[in-house]
Amino acid sequence: MTEKMVGKKMTVGEIDELLVKNEIDHAEEALLAIYRQNPDFADICNRLGQIYFQKGDYMRAKEFLERAVRLNPDYTEASLNLVVTLNELRQYGRAKEVIEQAQSRATRKKVPVEPFIAGKLANKHKEVGDIYRELAMFMESIEEYRKALKLSPGFPDIQVRLAVTLREIGVTDEALEILTRTTELRPDYLDARIQLGITYFSKGFLERARQQWMEVLKVDPSHAKAQMYLSFLKDSRERQPRQRA
Q: What is the pLDDT along the chain (245 residues), one digit of tens a residue?
A: 333 334 345 666 677 777 767 788 888 888 898 888 888 888 889 989 989 998 999 999 999 999 999 988 877 778 888 988 998 898 988 888 888 887 776 555 554 556 777 788 888 889 888 888 888 899 999 999 999 998 888 899 999 999 999 999 999 999 999 999 999 999 989 999 999 999 999 888 999 999 999 999 999 999 998 998 898 887 766 655 554 43
Q: Exposure pattern of 17-28 as b/e (b: 16+ CB <10 Å)?
A: ebbeeeeeeebb
110 Cβ contact list (under 8 Å, min separation 6): none
* CATH H-level, domain 1-111: superfamily: Tetratricopeptide repeat domain (1.25.40.10)
Q: Looking at this protein, which amino acid is placed at residue 146?
A: R
pTM, two decimals, is 0.58
120 Cβ contact list (under 8 Å, min separation 6): 80
CA–CA separation, 82 and 74 (whole Å): 13
Please tell me the predicted confidence (pLDDT) of residue 233: 80
Give the CA distances from residue 171 to residues 9, 59, 139, in Å, rounded to whole numbers and listed in that order. 62, 40, 12
Within the chain, all domains assigned CATH 1.25.40.10 are found at 1-111, 154-238
Q: Exposure pattern of 45-62 as b/e (b: 16+ CB <10 Å)?
A: bbbbbbbbbeeeebebbb
221 Cβ contact list (under 8 Å, min separation 6): none
The CATH label, of 2.60.120.1130, 1.25.40.10, 3.30.70.330, 3.60.15.10, for the domain at 154-238 is 1.25.40.10
